[in-house]
Structure 1
Amino acid sequence: MRVRPRHLLLGVTVALTLACTATSPAESPPAPLDRYLIAGDRAFPTGLAYDPATGHYFVGSAASGALYRGHIDQPEVELFSPDGTDGRALTSGMTLDSAGRLFVNGASSNTTRIYDSGNAELLAELRGLDGGFINEVSIAEDGSAYVTDSFLPVIYRITESDGRWQMEPWLDVAGTAIDWVHGQHNLNGILAVGRYLLSVQSNTGQLWRIDRSTREVVEVDTEPLPSGDALISDDGQRVFVTQGNLYAAGDQEPRVAVLEMSENLTRARIVDSLVPPDGFRHPSQAALTGQGRILVVNSQYNRFVSGQAPQLPFTISSVPIAD
């Protein structure tokens, strides 16, 4: 038997490896998921907070205090913090700040709880006025948080100094141009954009601009956005508004309206309407992933408040958006 020199064998091996590498197609990234599943027949998901650094998102329940965590590459969520933890009985709007702290609003429990998003440690529990409905929250560029109360005419401001948190009424909405209707969901989604806040009034569909320095409130000139819920943006000039059916005409299709804002945020026009192929089920909060997609919670909140059985399973939609 003839034995080839070792250096020749190594050369043949390297050559074959290079040839295979050159002819093999490059591995393509996995296709993005179109939806995510939340187990249970009473989950009724509502709030959503997304962490672009990790790809994780957090979801709360309108029917309980359960908090869930998912990842954009995984089809199902996991339980992050059980119902009843820290006294949580229900949740509403959520967000993450730049330090990774998770703000969880408590709807009619009139609370905002702040957590470490890594280990679910409670950092603060804050309380609003009795009889309110602590709904949505947005973080301004100075780190302060602004919170809507949908049942009481007030916007709260949350600040932190040396680990001490404070939540105070910041704006008396009754003293502004906003026409408040008691007993209905009024101000809902809120978005901090530079020196301003934007907030949508669910029951009337009006969009409002609020100056954080002067607290002046002016109506944004745009077509009505009935049942407007979440407000999110990637640059302050393009704003996404989720719309369900709670205060809309019965034939309005639930959607995400895409608004193009004027530079001073006093005018807006709807330039697109996002609807997945299987439709939305009363979309509530949403988040941009930074990967050309928007996550939208199918809350079925309209069924929850009317006592109707939900359409299972509960889901979060992932919808592509134009650049």
Structure 2
Amino acid sequence: MRRLACAVLTLVLLALIPAPAIADASADGLPDAHVVPGDRAFPTGMTYDRRTGHFYVGSAEDGTIYRGHVTRRDLEVWSPDGTDGRRVTSGMALDRAGRLYVGGADTATLRVYDVRTRRLLATLHGTGGGFVNEIAVAGDGTVYATDSFRPVVYRITERDGDWRIENWLDVAATPVDWVDGRHNLNGVIAVGRHLLTVNSATGSLWRIDPRDGETVEVDLGGHRLHNGDGLAWRDGRLYAVQGNLNQIPGLVPQVAVVAMPPDLDRGRYVARYVPPGGFRHPSSIVLTPARVMVVNSQYDRWLAGLPPVTPFTVSSMRLGAAEPVTG
């Protein structure tokens, strides 16, 4: 993403938009926004630990990892910048064994931590010049990660403490509509026996079969998930974050809800989430039992060198409170 430029006029206008108000709590007693500490946090990836209610958020500015709880307004520093040589983060994921996977963005690295002890378990290296971005854990425990600048999907495995990362899928050999010099495959999620991933540059959604790498475009009926970023899944619905990165005219940053059948070959855009006051370049998403939580990264401002609007926040919206869409 660091290589992409934002439109100057649009960003100047963004600088004039007031920050959304932060409510203490909604009717269910949960915060409507969680505050990420620091004047330069620029939060990016996020993952949720359903066992404890904690969630973890990384930083695009440096290597800090923050931890919050769904019942508390304020996050805290869980692992400081520079720990284990970490200087930037991107996507995150947690597996059932309590291992935290942290993407290293344009350092083309991926680190694995024991979330209980905070001990580094592995530092893995992807393709040089790549951007290790979002991460998904499949039902069998295999981990997959997108590279937004190199046409590859990584597969991460572990056996008896031996960690491996491989260039599993050659995206150039698939039908994926890759755009050189742009931010391509981004959000990825495991659903049943497939992976779903979105191309930020084109808004196309792709279904990948981990058994043989077969990759097919999901038929969205002409709809596009432009600027698609983090993905989440619940009860036949895909939740896709759409930010500001490519400056699509008329696109309001949102979480698009797409209804999909079990075989994931098609989808229909049926609803969206936009919090009061709007998002500030949303990037990552998690679903808790009651909430849709979305990181306000302000990554567009970071790219342009504009001062952030503080405090940095994670928006929290009641699950089921989406706005229906028609057409």
Query: Once structures 1 and 2 are overlaid, which stretch shifts more, 244-253 or 201-210?
Result: 244-253
Shift of 1:310: 1.2
TM-score by length of 2: 0.88
Corresponding residue for residue 271 of structure 2: 272
Residue by residue over 1:12-37, the C-alpha shift from the partner in whole angstroms, topping out at 9 and shown as x without a partner, is xxxxxxxxxxxxxxxxx961110011
Contact persistence 1:226–1:248 (CA under 8 A): no
Alignment of 1:228 onto 2:228: yes
2:217 aligned to which of 216, 219, 222? 219
1:145 aligned to which of 135, 143, 146? 143
CA distance in 1, matches of 2:160, 2:81: 30
Q: Which runs of 5+ in 1 are unaligned?
A: 1-28
Shift of 1:69: 0.6
Corresponding residue for residue 305 of structure 2: 307
Aligned-residue RMSD, C-alpha = 1.2
Shift of 1:263: 2.2
Contact persistence 1:51–1:57 (CA under 8 A): yes
SS of alignment partner, residue 269 of structure 2 = strand
CA distance in 2, matches of 1:196, 1:179: 19
Q: Which runs of 5+ in 2 are unaligned?
A: 1-26, 322-327
CA distance in 1, matches of 2:177, 2:316: 35
Corresponding residue for residue 192 of structure 1: 190
Residue by residue over 1:256-281, the C-alpha shift from the partner in whole angstroms, topping out at 9 and shown as x without a partner, is 00110122111001111100112111
Which stretches of structure 1, 4 residues or longer, exceed 3 Å deviation after superposition? none
One-letter amino acid of the counterpart of residue 233, structure 1: W
SS of alignment partner, residue 50 of structure 1 = strand
Corresponding residue for residue 169 of structure 2: 171
One-letter amino acid of the counterpart of residue 42, structure 1: R
1:58 aligned to which of 56, 63, 79? 56
One-letter amino acid of the counterpart of residue 201, structure 1: N
CA distance in 2, matches of 1:32, 1:279: 19
Contact persistence 1:137–1:145 (CA under 8 A): yes
Shift of 1:191: 0.8
CA distance in 2, matches of 1:30, 1:319: 11
SS of alignment partner, residue 263 of structure 1 = coil
Alignment of 1:284 onto 2:283: yes
Corresponding residue for residue 69 of structure 2: 71
CA distance in 2, matches of 1:302, 1:54: 32
The alignment-based identity, stated in percent, is 54
CA distance in 1, matches of 2:210, 2:65: 31
CA distance in 2, matches of 1:79, 1:179: 38
CA distance in 1, matches of 2:287, 2:234: 7
SS of alignment partner, residue 303 of structure 2 = helix
Equivalences for 1:10-159 in 2 at 5 Å? Answer: 31-159=29-157
SS of alignment partner, residue 62 of structure 2 = coil
One-letter amino acid of the counterpart of residue 274, structure 2: V
One-letter amino acid of the counterpart of residue 277, structure 2: D
CA distance in 2, matches of 1:320, 1:171: 37
CA distance in 1, matches of 2:287, 2:307: 30
Residue by residue over 1:195-218, the C-alpha shift from the partner in whole angstroms, topping out at 9 and shown as x without a partner, is 211000001000001111121111
One-letter amino acid of the counterpart of residue 269, structure 1: R
Shift of 1:183: 1.4
Which of 1 and 2 has higher RCO (CA within 8 Å, sep 6+)? Answer: 2
Tell me which structure has the larger Cα radius of gyration.
1
TM-score by length of 1: 0.89
CA distance in 2, matches of 1:184, 1:305: 14
SS of alignment partner, residue 275 of structure 2 = coil
Contact persistence 1:34–1:317 (CA under 8 A): yes
One-letter amino acid of the counterpart of residue 68, structure 1: Y
Contact persistence 2:30–2:72 (CA under 8 A): no
SS of alignment partner, residue 76 of structure 1 = coil
CA distance in 1, matches of 2:257, 2:82: 36
One-letter amino acid of the counterpart of residue 228, structure 1: G
Residue by residue over 1:20-73, the C-alpha shift from the partner in whole angstroms, topping out at 9 and shown as x without a partner, is xxxxxxxxx961110011121110000101111111111100110001111111
